[in-house]
Structure 1
Amino acid sequence: MTPASQEQLTNAQGKWKKYNRGSDHMPLVKSLQGHGTGWCTAGESTAKTQLEGGDFYVFYSLDPQGQPIVPRAAIRMQENNIAEVRGIGPDQNLDPYIGKVVQDKMAEFPDGNLYEKKSQDMQRLTALENKIKKNQELTRNELRFLYEIDATIQGFGYKTDPRIAELRGLRDPNADAPIAFDCEPVQIAWGQDEVKENTKAYIGPLFPNIFQKLKHMEYIYTKFPEGKIARSTIEIGGKTKAELEQEMTKQNIKVSDYAKFMLDSKDFVTAKKPDPADLVQLKVGDLGFSNTPTTDEIYRKIQELGLELCPAEVGPHYRLAYAD
């Protein structure tokens, strides 16, 4: 069985084994079965299909007898590119002790750098987990990382690493917020009536024209930390539909059939001159409805907030601006 005890998981000694593209899939299948990895590759048909598409690498750590037979991480290739990386942690994330092994291995691949942030994030999360368990104080940068203030924590599983919620559950977000935002507690407004000239962060329900009134405020949340309102400014206009498509092709950006359908619509028009566009990303849950709203109710609420729907060309411009 896959090691479950802390002592077994901390053992990251072992070796990588490569299963060549087009080779017999059964050795790979047999090496995974009975270990509870949760990987679909343990199924014969899936393993066969995956090996038809590219090489497959598995890292096996040592069992109690010193044999490298315990699957801990996998790298699946699609032709010459990394298709996915999986571990034996919850939701197939890497377990806390195998990150460095995987990071070193990925450095061998041309596109391995694309996964570098994920590897670094998992190592930082593990270090943070150990620090919190020892009741050690967290620095401002560590709090900003845990609460994903500057960037989303990326992992290798198909869901968010559950340790993020677990570690946040051990903290007091309201007490951490002033440290993370580098301000005094009184500089955080928890409602519209608390907003003052020296307010640095707003955490509370959205109110009419909030984004105009708090335009220069760095942090706006409906709830901390999960209610962060993402804002950005990009340049739109100045490019035809054909030019946008050419740029996306040049950057190897895949365009789905549905996106292509929208691009080909007569309603997709572009402005002749470039112009900055201030964007606000909202979820329906941010809008404060007590019941499930209709589309018209959502649109009315957006207008109350002083916003309007984005022009269609924002989509490809945004994708090009954030190509990673």
Structure 2
Amino acid sequence: MAEGLVVPVKTLYEKENWKIYTCEVSREYKYHFDGTDTISIAGDIPSLVLGVPYKIIADAKKTKYGLTYYVKTAMIALSNDGVGSYDTFLKNITTDRQFESIKKAYPNFVNMIIADEVADIDYKKIFGTGQKGLEKIIAKVVDNLVIAEIINEYGEFGVTFNMAKKMYKRYGNVHAIKRRMENEPYKILCSIQGISFKTADAIIKKKRPEMIDSPDRLFECLKFLLDEMENSEGSTYMNYAALYKKANALVPEAIKNMIKVLDNPEFKWNGESKRVSRKETFDKELFIAKKLLELRDSKSKKFDWGKEP
């Protein structure tokens, strides 16, 4: 694992979920990066601003193109002089006239974006910038400051740059994400595509051991097991005893909440048949069954499928 300050100087490849840059290594960190002056870095990272220093944590791997550092986190290396450090960053992503007009109209421009107050920013007050131009500037700030902070905070949960962007898009700002992660980490992490219940559970148990017997843990476990059953076997329900056994194997400390959790509206279970399913899946299956019965009983064999409930 290598850690240190680098300055991206050339973009080699840039797509939404993967980017590659040539970087110069800060003198004091050369020994962290095989003693070389320049390195190649790659990963699911933000669009880096050329000429701006970043603190990275990366794994070195040999490829057919030479040694490449696969980045886990990339945080822009701001100085400790408050707003001035944001100004340095802003100067690198705008023209001189744009920067001057931004500082005149919105002295706390970067802080406004971080606080999710972009609706209050009028592109007409920024020299030479249309709506799309303003959106590009805002996107640079979000990717390099906001999203990077989320990754830095939750990278150990397996949150990648693309996942962090989805979290930001859903919850609006870093403070809201931190609040939700503090109160309901299972719900937040398990709702992100790419993070499985087992992955989330392994890390939350270490970070939040007090949640080991929580209903939230069992709730996400049951959803995971029912979804796994549907995807692997095509079955939309599971026998209560079988579900209990599987859940008890994964989250024995939380199994005491079984009945309480199954009373959640997201589940559908029948005390007589002992079948448990996701409410959403149950409703879809019921809808299809009703339509098939209509088809069987219809003389014309034509009917309106309508909309799913």
Q: Taking structure 2 as the reference length, what is the TM-score of the superposition? A: 0.26
Q: Which has the higher helix share?
A: 2
Q: Taking structure 1 as the reference length, what is the TM-score of the superposition? A: 0.25
Greater Rg, structure 1 or structure 2? 2
